[in-house]
Amino acid sequence: MVSIALEPLLHHQAAIRHANHRIYPKLAKATLFTSNCFSSRSLIRTGGRLSTFKPRRSFAVSACSASASASASASASASATSTSTTTDESAEIIYPLKRREMVEGKIFIRLDQGKNADNWKLTVGCSLPGKWVLHWGVHYLHDMGSEWDQPPVKMRPPGSVAIKDYAIETPLKKLAVGEGGYCLHEVKIDFNSNSSVAAINFVLKDEETGCWYQHRGRDFKVPLVDYLRNDRNAVGSRMGFGLWPGALEHLSSIFLKTEAPQPTSEGNSKESAEPMEPSKPLEGFYEEQSIVKEVIVDNSVSISVRKSPETAKHLVYLDSDLPGDVVIHWGVCRDNNKKWEIPAAPYPPDTEVFKNKALRTLLQPKEDGHGVRGLFTIDDGYHGFLFVLKSKDDTWFKFMGKDFFVPLPSSRSLSAQSEDQQSKGKGIDIASELHLCSKDLDNAIKEENEEVSQTSHTDVIINEIRSLVTDISTGKDWKTKSKEAQESILREIEKLAAEAYKMFRGSSPTFTEENVSMTEAGLAEEVMRPPVKTSSGTGSGYEILCQGFNWESHRSGRWYMELQEKAEALSSLGFTIIWLPPPTESVSPEGYMPKDLYNLNSRYGTTDELKAVVGKFHEVGIKVLGDVVLNHRCAHYQNQNGVWNIFGGRLSWDDRAIVADDPHFQGRGNKSSGDNFHAAPNIDHSQDFVRKDLKEWLCWLRKDIGYDGWRLDFVRGFWGGYVKDYLDATEPYFAVGEYWDSLSYTYGEMDYNQDAHRQRIIDWINATGGTAGAFDVTTKGILHSVLERCEYWRLSDSKGKPPGVVGWWPSRAVTFIENHDTGSTQGHWRFPGGKEMQGYAYILTHPGTPAVFYDHIFSNYQSEISALISLRNRNMINCRSIVQISKAERDVYAAIIDDKVAMKIGPGYFEPPNGPHHWSSVIEGKDYKAWEAV
- More reliable by pLDDT, 216 or 530: 216
Stretch 64-70: mean pLDDT, rounded? Answer: 32
Tens of pLDDT along 896-934?
Answer: 999 999 999 999 999 999 878 899 999 999 999 999 998
Q: How far apart are CA 599 and CA 606, in angstroms?
A: 9
pLDDT at 498 over 70: no
Q: In three state form, how does the secondary structure of 162-175 look?
A: EECCCEEEEECEEE
Burial label, 897 (beta-carbon count in 10 A; 0-12, 13-18, 19+): buried
Burial class (CB in 10 A: 0-12, 13-18, 19+), 460: exposed
Q: Strand runs (DSSP E) across 78-196, as ranges? A: 91-113, 119-126, 132-140, 161-163, 167-171, 173-177, 182-192
Q: What secondary structure letter does DSSP report for 704?
A: I
Which of 148-157, 487-496, 693-702 has the lowest average pLDDT? 487-496
Please say if the pLDDT value at position 757 is more than 90.
yes
> What does the pLDDT read at residue 488?
63
Q: Which amino acid is located at 100 in the chain? A: R
Q: What is the pLDDT of residues 593-615, one digit of tens each?
A: 999 999 999 999 999 999 999 99
How confident is the model at residue 417, as a pLDDT?
40
Contact (CB, 8 A) for 908 and 894: no
Question: What integer is the mean pLDDT of 538-565?
Answer: 94
Query: What's residue 340's pLDDT?
Result: 93
More confident residue, 56 or 352: 352
Tell me, what DSSP letter sits at residue 890? Answer: S
| pLDDT at 497 (0 to 100) | 60
pLDDT in tens, 9-39: 233 333 333 333 333 333 333 333 333 333 3
DSSP single-letter state for residue 812: G
Q: Which helix (H) or strand (E) holds 286?
A: strand 285-308
Calculated CA dihedral for residues 749, 754, 759, 765, nearest 10 degrees = 80
| Predicted local distance difference test score (pLDDT) of residue 341 | 93
Kindly tell me if the per-residue pLDDT of 445 is higher than 90.
Answer: no
Average pLDDT over residues 756-770: 93
Q: Quote the mean pLDDT of the chain.
A: 77
Q: Can you give the pLDDT at residue 748?
A: 83
pLDDT band at 99 (very low <50, low <70, confident <90, very high): confident
Selected catalytic residue, list 298, 596, 713, 728: 713
pLDDT above 90 coverage of the chain, percent: 50
Q: Which of 215-219, 277-281, 305-309, 397-401 has the largest mean confidence?
A: 397-401
Intra-chain end-to-end CA distance of the chain, in Å = 52
Taking each helix axis from N to C terminus, what angle separates 755-767 and 777-789, rounded to the nearest 10 degrees? Answer: 160
pLDDT band at 91 (very low <50, low <70, confident <90, very high): low
Asked whether the predicted pLDDT for residue 474 surpasses 60, the reply is no
> How confident is the model at residue 34, as a pLDDT?
33
Most confidently modeled range among 6-15, 103-112, 396-405, 420-429: 103-112
pLDDT higher than 60, residue 277 = no
pLDDT tens digits for range 808-844: 999 999 999 999 999 999 999 999 999 999 999 999 9
Q: Which range, of 476-485, 720-729, 762-771, averages the lowest pLDDT?
A: 476-485
Q: Tell me if 813 sits within 8 A of 850, measured CB to CB.
A: no
Is it the case that residue 538 has pLDDT exceeding 50?
yes
Give me the mean pLDDT over the 778-796 stretch: 97
Confidence of residue 47 (pLDDT cuts 50, 70, 90): very low
713 noted as active-site residue: yes
Question: What is the pLDDT at residue 297?
Answer: 85
**Catalytic residue flag (residue 118):** no
Catalytic residue among 708, 738, 818, 932: 738
SS3 category, 502: helix
pTM: 0.51
Nearest to residue 726, comparing CAs of 600, 622, 629?
Answer: 629
pLDDT of residue 194: 87
